[in-house]
Structure 1
Amino acid sequence: MSSGRKSLGHQKIEIKKMSSESNLQVTFSRRRSGLFKKVDEFCTLCDAKIALVVFSPSENVFSFGHPNIDTVIDRYLSRIPPQNNDIMQFIEARHKTNVCEINDQLTQINNTLDVEKKLGDELSHLQKEYETQFWWTCSHNRMNWIQLEIFKKALKEFRNLVAQHTDRLVI
């Protein structure tokens, strides 16, 4: 008997490394942004001091720190409690704003780069399709032996047609 459910609901998926490099980079960019947002929310809600360093698949480094990454790392390494100073809080807030703006800009640039890479891949694919379909339009250096023979025969036939046509025009 049916219970009225049309889907299996939330399913657990297997977590494994992606095989496609372009998908890996796009997923990394999106997940990194989400991770930084979650860490920022955690800092705001819990007044936690956090330093996060992430290396992308292409070895780029991304960091997030609250109040800033240097303060958190210095505190971790030296175990010195933070000082409650209004000027320091202002500097840290300003630094955090700058880091967030730069991270947003970097995310936008990475997304644009991903789109441009996809367009480049599509153009390369279309060029290969075009060269496969219209092989005689590509450079003779890129033709194989069979294509060169066919091309040679077509040129001879074309020469004969031109000669016949010019003979008719002269008479």
Structure 2
Amino acid sequence: MAGRQTRGRQRIPIQFIESQDDMYATFSKRRLGLYKKASELSTLCGVDIGLIIFSPTGNPYSFFSPGAEAIMERYRNPDQPVSGIPQFIDDHSRTQLVQLNQALDEVLEMKEQIKDREKQLDEADGIRPKGWWEHVPVESLNANQVLTWTTWFENVRTQIRTRKEELRNGAGTSAAPGSTR
């Protein structure tokens, strides 16, 4: 099943979009892009940002960092220095934002490590010798063969559990690879 082919990232002419479906899709994507840029600007430069956007259907969307109240108060009184409880709340919000960004960075790093590990496992899987059961499509088995395979795999599972318990309990006798016990 092939996925839907897209045109990819292309430069488009900046003009009004006539098709409503295209307009809604573009608005949704661009709105998320604006939020991302505003968040990055706030984090990187330590600035307060407020965005209010109305969709083509008239729905309001907003983004505020650190918060709507602080942004509105600063807009109403731009000459007044920020101090007191609103500043404490702003500082707390900024601290939380920094902590959340650090946690996000850690999660993204873990995700990259997992992807790298999956890639290594896929490469190892491609070069390892395959067992006889991997060469036979499961769909081609009849009922007796399925029962035989099930019994064999359950037997192997039991042997693995037994060996695992032996190793856990300190038994040092090792069987030769590939031999059955």
Same fold (TM over 0.5): no
| Length-normalised TM-score, structure 2 | 0.41
More helix by share: 1
